[in-house]
Amino acid sequence: MTDTDMPSISSPTASGAPLALIFDLDGTLVHSVPDLTVALNHLLAEHDRPAVAEDDVAFMVGDGARVLVQRAWAHTGAAAAEDDLDGLTERFVAIYETATAGATQPYPGVVATLETLKARGHPLAVCTNKPHGATLKLLEELDLARFFTAVVGGGSTPERKPQAGPVLAVLAEMGVPARGALFIGDSRNDVRAAAAAGVPCACVTYGYPRGPVEALGADRLIDHFDQVLDLVDAGADMDLQKKV
Ligand SMILES: O=C(O)COP(=O)(O)O
Ligand SMILES: [Mg+2]
C-alpha cells in the first residue's frame, strides 16, 4: 500500500479531542503464545493428548479461550464433544491464570509508545477476546494496566470480536464516538469488529493474523508498534467510511 491509496487518520479529531486508541491484546500488545502453549499443553497432558507447538497455537488464538481449546482438541485427535467444551475451557483458563505472564512480553516499542500516547492525552483502551479475568491479570503483571481507561475482555460483553459489541462497549466506557477512535489489531476479527462499530482499523504485521496480513482488510498495516505514533501524527482528514 502507498500513502496515497490509504485513508488518512487524523489527530486530533474533528471535535478537537485527541484520537482515542483501542488496542487488541494478543498479537498486538503482547506476544502471549508461549504461555498459552504451556497452559494448553498442561491441559492436553491431563487428557493424554500430544502437545501442540507454539507455531500451531499462533494459528489457534484470537477467538477466545473456548475456540482455542476447541482448535487444540481438533489438532490433537478427536474433536471435543460440545458438552465437554465448557469444562475444558474453565480448566484451561484456571491453568492459564496461574502463569499469564510467565514468558509473555510486550512487543518492542509498546511500553514507550503507550507512555508517549498517554502523555499526549490520548484515551487508551484494550479490546480482546482473551477472558476478562486473565486479561486484567496479565495487564497488571506486565505493568500495562496503568495506561488504559477501559478494558473489555472476553465474557464481559455478550458478543465477542468479530462482532461490534466489545468495541461499542469500549467506546461507551471511554465516552468517545466511533469517529473519534482508531483500532489497532492483528487479525481479521479486529478489522471486522472495528468496521462493524464504525471505527477504522490498522493492523500490525508481526502478530497472529492466521493468514496473509495483506488480506486482513486493514486500513493501514504497520510493521512496528511505534508506527502507531505516525498514524496518529498523520494529521490529514480521515475518511472513515472509505474502507470500513
Ligand atoms: O483469543 C484470545 O484469547 C485473545 O485474542 P485477542 O487478544 O487477539 O483478541
Ligand atoms: Mg490479536
> Could you tell which of 22, 23, 26 is best to mutate to test the pocket of ligand 1, judged by most ligand atoms within 8 Å of the CB?
26
- Does the pLDDT of residue 30 top 90, yes or no? yes
Q: Confidence class of residue 8 from pLDDT cuts 50, 70 and 90?
A: very low
pLDDT of 23 > 80? The answer is yes
- Which set of grid coordinates corresponds to residue 56? 500451531
Residue 63 marked in a binding site: no
**8 Å CB contact between 154 and 184:** no
Q: What is the mean pLDDT of residues 156-176?
A: 97
* Vertex 65 angle, CA 47 and 23, to 5°: 150
Which residue's CA is the closest to the ligand 1 atom numbered 4? 130
Instruction: Tell me the pLDDT tens digit for each residue of 107-132.
Output: 999 999 999 999 999 999 999 999 99
> What is the residue-wise DSSP string for the chain?
--GGGS----SS-TTSSPPEEEE--BTTTEE-HHHHHHHHHHHHHHTT-----HHHHTTT-SS-HHHHHHHHHHHSSSPPPHHHHHHHHHHHHHHHHTSTTSS-EEPTTHHHHHHHHHHTT--EEEEEEEEHHHHHHHHHHTT-GGG-SEEEEETSSS--TTSSHHHHHHHHHHT--GGGEEEEESSHHHHHHHHHHT--EEEESSS--SS-GGGG--SEEESSGGGHHHHHH--S---TTTT-
pLDDT of residue 237: 38
Q: Could you tell me if 137 and 153 are in contact, meaning their C-beta atoms sit under 8 angstroms apart?
A: no
Half-sphere exposure of 238 (CA within 13 A, CB side): 27
d(CA 87, CA 109): 38
- Same topology, domains 9-31+105-233 and 33-97? Answer is no
Q: Is the CB of 190 under 6 A from ligand 1?
A: no
The mean per-residue pLDDT over the stretch 45-67 comes to 98
More confident residue, 200 or 17: 200
Superfamily per CATH, domain 9-31+105-233:
HAD superfamily/HAD-like (3.40.50.1000)
- Nearest one of 109, 113, 107, 108 to 233, comparing CA atoms: 113
CATH code for the domain defined by 33-97? 1.10.150.240
Answer whether residue 88 shows pLDDT above 70. yes
Sign of torsion over alpha carbons 70, 73, 79, 84: negative
Q: What would the mean pLDDT of 178-199 be, rounded to a whole number?
A: 97
Active site residues: 24
ipTM metric: 0.98
Q: Is the CB of 219 under 6 A from ligand 1?
A: no
Whether residue 160 has its Cβ less than 6 Å from ligand 1? no
Per-residue pLDDT, 14: 65
Work out the mean pLDDT of the chain and round it to a whole number.
92
Angle formed at CA 167 by CA 233 and CA 202, multiple of 5 degrees: 35
pLDDT of residue 153: 98
Give the start-to-end residue ranges of the domains of the chain: 9-31+105-233, 33-97
Q: What is the pLDDT of residue 11?
A: 53
